[in-house]
Amino acid sequence: MTHDFPVFPPGFVWGTATSAYQIEGAAREDGRGPSIWDTFCRVPGAVAGGDTGDDACDHYHRFAEDVRLMTGLGAGAYRFSVAWPRVQPEGHGRPERRGLDFYKRLLDLLRDRGITPFVTLYHWDLPQALEDRGGWRERDTAERFADYAGIVHDALAGWEPYWITLNEPYCSSITGYAEGRHAPGATEGHGALAAAHHLLLAHGLAVPRLRTQGGERVGITLNMSPAVPASPSPRDAEAAGRQDLLVNRQFTEPVFGGAYPSDMEETFGAITDFSFRRDGDLEIIGAPLDFFGLNYYYRIHVADAPHAEPDPARRTAFDIGVRAVTPEGTATSGLGWPVEPEGLRQTLTGLATRHPGLPPVYVTENGYGEHGDDLDDQGRVAYLRGHVAAVAEAVAQGVDVRGYFCWSLLDNFEWARGYAARFGLVHVDYRTQTRTPKTSYHWLRDRIAST
Ligand code: GBH
């Protein structure tokens, strides 16, 4: 084994990841309804540059070229998401055949190329019609999601994809309903925690709908960021505990531990009575899974800090009295995110230790963002090299990691940062839609070829 190319178990899967709203474009084609992101992009100041996903990478029309890029990479798998508003423009009722047909064409091509599909059912694009009825604050949205999952399963199961119910319910609930930085742009306490619960419930209700034939492989993708106390002081340790609860444990414990963490009451008791929880919900949420999808970008160093809102009863669920304090000298990405591959190893081994029944893990996202059009993206190469090595270490330490997906195949619509922030292995010129592989693409191709 060389330092550059650590050894992975036989069958280890390499791939790239994308999501529907970030790459597809064709926002008004083939009966697609509006999603909360179509709406949010039109709120002045919500998205950098006033960008929208209307055209994005035009993947809806250029998917064949994009699959060729995957083939050139030697990737064995591809993770993409299905846009709920393409399948059910109003979030309920009879499916829109043309929307499903697009994914069938894509899946056909992937099958021809021997690329295993990992299909995410929800990557943040809630049909606006459901948000108009309360969105994820409402329990009914979880039921609607389960119906949608059943429709997609019945239409696409023949291609035998791996199913990922949700991408990062943390972002859908806390970033969307508490921090207000993502659609629908709300800044709430109780509503955001209700959203988190209903997302988890949606996941749990969808699992049996995705398992009607017995051979299906079903999982969930969570984003995790280890919280490191900024100092040895007990106050910072407690702050790190709250951060860990908010981002990580609120989601991992009910899914893999069958219960909500006991410090939920202490941290959030002033803003909610948890009345959205019902008897039996935890059994649904804790449905056994075939794999776990981990999205890892960075770990966060936190210190205790004053709350933004002094009145505890009026706080948002994001206002937990912490502040990020990255230690001086820590390497950072082009977006200022700490680059610490050790955090990925730590996340993987920590999870496996806390949850001995943890199913096999796939790193379903990991990647490096920066501004500008540099094709010789050495920062991304260094990031990927370090993180791939961290996965190898976790494997050597006994964690059952089965695959690694780089975020992302292409530069794309980076949510509130618009098109200015780029995560692609392949550069996209948005005026011409020209795709140009970057140095990192060639690096990963060689990495994959050597396994
Ligand atoms: C993923 O989320 C998403 O699944 C994917 O769609 C996205 O394109 C990719 O990351 C890259 O961002 O703005 O500095 O305050 C990753 C989880 C959690 C990472 C929130 C960014 C905010 C950092 N994200 N976090 S900052």
Model ipTM value: 0.92
Q: What is the pLDDT of residues 136-182, one digit of tens each?
A: 999 999 999 999 999 999 999 999 999 999 999 999 999 999 999 99
Burial 115-154 (b: 16+ CB within 10 A, else e): bbbbbbbbbbbbbbbbbeeebbbbbebbebbbbbbbbbbe
The one-letter code for the residue type at 239 is: A
Give the catalytic positions in this structure: 168, 365
At residue 18 the predicted structure's pLDDT band, cuts being 50, 70 and 90, is very high
How far is residue 221's CA from residue 170's CA, in Å, rounded to a whole number?
10
**5, pLDDT greater than 90:** no
**Which pair of tokens denotes residue 143?**
């039921």
Q: CB-based contacts of 97: which residues, under 8 Å, 6+ apart?
A: none
Are residues 402 and 13 in contact, defined by beta-carbon separation less than 8 angstroms? Answer: yes
In the chain, the domains with their CATH numbers are: 13-449 (3.20.20.80)
Ligand 1 atom showing the smallest separation from residue 247 Cα: 18
- As a whole number, mean pLDDT of residues 248-262 equals 98
Look up the pTM and report it: 0.98
- As a whole number, mean pLDDT of residues 46-75 equals 99
Residues with CB under 6 A from ligand 1: 19, 22, 167-168, 171, 175, 223, 295, 297, 365, 407, 414, 423
User: How far apart are the CA of 356 and the centre of ligand 1, in A?
Assistant: 28
Q: What is the pLDDT of residues 258-300, one digit of tens each?
A: 999 999 999 999 999 999 999 999 999 999 999 999 999 999 9
Ligand 1 atom showing the smallest separation from residue 223 Cα: 17
Location of structure tokens 């933004």: 308
**83, pLDDT greater than 90:** yes
Number of helical (H) and strand (E) elements in the chain, helices listed first: 17, 15
**3, pLDDT greater than 60:** no
- As a whole number, mean pLDDT of residues 21-46 equals 98
User: How far apart are the CA of 113 and the centre of ligand 1, in A?
Assistant: 30
Q: What is the 3-state secondary structure (H, E, C) of 31-43?
A: CCCCEHHHHHCCC
Q: CB-based contacts of 431: which residues, under 8 Å, 6+ apart?
A: none
Q: What is the pLDDT of residues 369-397, one digit of tens each?
A: 999 999 999 999 999 999 999 999 999 99
Q: Where are the beta strands (DSSP E) in 105-144?
A: 116-122
- As a whole number, mean pLDDT of residues 105-119 equals 98
Any idea what DSSP says for residue 233? S
At residue 405 the predicted structure's pLDDT band, cuts being 50, 70 and 90, is very high
Are residues 388 and 6 in contact, defined by beta-carbon separation less than 8 angstroms? Answer: yes
Residue nearest to atom 18 of ligand 1 (CA): 171
